[in-house]
Structure 1
Amino acid sequence: MGLISLLWGIVAMLWMVLALIPVIGITNWLLIPFAAVGALIAAIGIALTSREKRGRAKTGLLLNGLVIVVAVVRLSMFGGLL
């Protein structure tokens, strides 16, 4: 679960960088649920693994959470249009 959430977070981060382009910014509406699913997978990974093996899941949770925050801020700046 940790590896899946980490890879999901990397893909979400790359998508976020692409969504910072003004014309493509509308894709943030799809990016937020995508990153939320990655954060959910990471949370499940944290809950189900032992304390020593939580690093990847925590990193995935951090990446997906950061993507969600940036996407929400980006949408709120222009009223969700750009």
Structure 2
Amino acid sequence: MLNLLSFLFGIISLVIVIPATIPLLGWANWIALPLIVIGVILGQLSSSNSGRNFNLVVLLIAVIRLSLGGGII
């Protein structure tokens, strides 16, 4: 059950992160980061690792985009 919730948080975060790769929409990554962290925590509490790993990939995409944009842009 926790793995399913972790995937759900990851999918919601991915829906936010994908449009945030467009220039001037990088601020949306700051909205997605707390959701991703919640997904990672739920995935860690789960007996399976797939939800956690999915959220970590989404987190990596968001962090790389934030670092390229200087944190805001």
Pairwise TM-score range, normalised by the shorter structure: 0.7 to 0.9
Q: Runs of 5+ in structure 1 lacking a partner?
A: 47-53
Q: Is the 8 A contact 1:32 1:67 kept in 2?
A: no
The count of aligned residue pairs is 72
CA–CA distance in structure 2, aligned partners of residues 78 and 15 of structure 1: 16
What is the one-letter code of the residue matched to 1:21?
Answer: I
- TM-score, normalised relative to structure 2: 0.85
> Structure 1 runs of 4+ off > 4 angstroms?
none
CA–CA distance in structure 2, aligned partners of residues 67 and 73 of structure 1: 10
CA–CA distance in structure 1, aligned partners of residues 69 and 5 of structure 2: 32
- TM-score, normalised relative to structure 1: 0.77
How much identity, in percent, do the aligned residues show?
32
